[in-house]
Chain A
């Protein structure tokens, strides 16, 4: 069974540019989560989808971040315009319904904003 995949693995962009990160959850997992780890800090929750609906987006830092999950399958996280402080590793995770504590994580996308 394929695990959670994320694309790209690494992205380097300039301040002010736009970047879109993609996450493909494990097939059949209705729950999809985005997390971010800024260098040296904790892994912070960004938001949670149940199918295509946003269950909780309390962790989204500001309106420069837009997450979508059209059709309830893969999800994208767009940062527009990117700022220096957006640099970090963005993780995606998925889980089955009712099993929030059993999340499977993807390898992460390392975003570097210069």
Chain B
């Protein structure tokens, strides 16, 4: 079955540094999304990239998608302490019934 798998599972950086998280998946997709979950809070949608797009930007976020390698990366530039959270990639399978599938997540800690 399809599953997004984030890498690394935990990342600790200093404030101001860039953070890069990767996600791999197994089947053809319609789109890939990144979500953030702050401790004790719900999931917040960050960005969606469609299967025919290669790169997308939103503020300090940059997402790339390589469908040939079935992988995506999320780059957070100039990180802040408030970016401390868990980040999940989620994919929507392109065949048959559409369902969002999440990965295990990357726990990012930004040290002030």
Contacts and interface: CB of A to CB of B under 8 A. Distances in A.
Chain A residues touching B, range: 20 to 34
Interface in B91-112: 92, 97-105
B9 to A, nearest CB: 9
Contacts of A91: 42-43
Contact of A106 (B3, B42, B90, B97): B42
Contacts of B101: 45
19 contacts: A6-B42, A33-B100, A41-B104, A42-B4, A43-B43, A43-B88, A43-B102, A45-B102, A56-B99, A91-B42, A101-B48, A102-B48, A103-B45, A105-B42, A105-B43, A105-B44, A107-B41, A107-B42, A108-B41
B56 to A, nearest CB: 14
Interface in A65-102: 91, 93, 100-102
Nearest to A6: B42
B40 interface: yes
Interface string A40-58: 1111110010000001100
Nearest to A104: B45
A55 B90 CA distance: 20
B33 interface: yes
Interface string A1-37: 0001010000000000000000000000000010100
Interface string B5-49: 000000000000000000000000011010100001111110010
